[in-house]
Chain A
Amino acid sequence: MQAKFVNPFVSGAQEVVGMVLAVEPSLGQLAARPRIFTSQQFNVTCGITGDLAGQIIYGMSLQTAEAITKKMLGDALVPNEELAASALSELGNMISGTCSSKLHSAGYTCDITPPTIIQGTNVSISTIDIPALVIPLNLPGFGVLEINVSLKERAVAQAA
């Protein structure tokens, strides 16, 4: 996957997470995988369509998911499972939306699909046979948010 798709995700995720969770995230070691895959317990997936096609998975441990939910819901909201799942989906949606705007500035007009939650480890998305890049963001006090980005340009996607 081309590096030019990576920077919008790194900066977009840092901006959104920084604002929503009020932390300064730091970037961990990037890694490549032959296809999109997550070994995390709690995952939010979001599709990208338009000039780029592919999938993003935001993966985290249950502990991190709980800590993020607690922060997002605050004291004003009575927590329940549905609201917690919705908050985490919305975090994925906001990161994807912000990244999509950055991709637009880089010359790629994209849309995003509504997020889906997958709970359970060792999930791979078999229909998407595009190499993935893993971007780990360390969120002090929350844990690690692992962003799996698997994208390719539309012309290539159509030909495949």
Chain B
Amino acid sequence: MAKVLMKGNEAMALAAIKGGCDAFFGYPITPQNELPEYLSKHMKENGRVFVQAESEVAAINMVYGAGGSGARVLTSSSSPGIALKQEGISYLAGSEVPCVIINVMRGGPGLGGIQPAQSDYMQITRGGGNGDYHTLAFAPENLQETVDIIKESFTLADEYRNPVMIAADGLLGQMMEPVDLERSSNVKEAPLKPWAATGESGKRGHRNKIVSLFLDPNDLEDHNLKLQKKYNRMIDEQQRFEMIHTEDAEIVFVAYGSMARIARSAIETLREKGIKVGMIRPISIWPFPEKAFENLPKSVHTLLTLEMSLGQMIEDVKIVNQGRYKLDFFGRTGGVVPEPEEIVEKVLAMKEGAN
């Protein structure tokens, strides 16, 4: 299949359709508006559901309802809108309702700005909702990877009966790149969902209830232990990452999404200067890819975390590092997209400081 030139937000929307999305519920916010705009036309054409809700809170609860009835459901928003959805995400996770949530991140806190950022790492990986819950979260670096992951994420949501978050940013949403929408990806037909509330209690002989309320503490603990088993299975099965030039590296970058892509240019420049740098690129940010840090070569002495925030993922790097390597950080925030040259200068300054 030939590649087509598409805008990121539209490619994400089409990928959702290809991934088997039955219904979309959302509320507009820049910089992701082309995503619902595209779906508002194409979901209907494909005989599926599109609803522009009256608010983000309404949208995520519509996701809860439609997901609870067994449909493959999507919502998308940008940072402050995702913040509004946190309560619903906790309920979805607590009652094990699968869904896909796309966050096209912009600068914060509060309303912040509309330019690209990665300052929702904590919101995505720790969750703003209450309770012991986790969502699978993937952070692609270009449009092809974004499309492939979104297609697959509906299948993963069904397999784990859990929300899946896509951590994109304004750059990925607004840019155009050639993408192959048909490239093979782990997309499976929606499975039978015997747990779903489909209004067939009479025929089924019992009522399916979608709840996250357990008033008996022992029941709630059992429920949490069951969820925890599932999260541990995700940690085992879903750590995804790419190792880039780590084989002889002295300084290893840790960067995801757009920042990783910018870092690739810095690696090229630094390697031309004979400075041995490499990168661990987390593709899953929850679970954090701890396995990537297990067999780094002896040459490594420093991990340099790079983020379009003032340092959020670095906390995961600290946890996995266990004091083994020196840690350093470079970040820009508020919607400022750093130039590769800034990373090069940071590394040169680190070398200088070490000598």
A and B are partners in one complex rather than unrelated chains: no
Which B residues are within 8 Å of any A CB, using their own CB?
Answer: none
- A residues touching B (Cβ–Cβ < 8 Å)? none
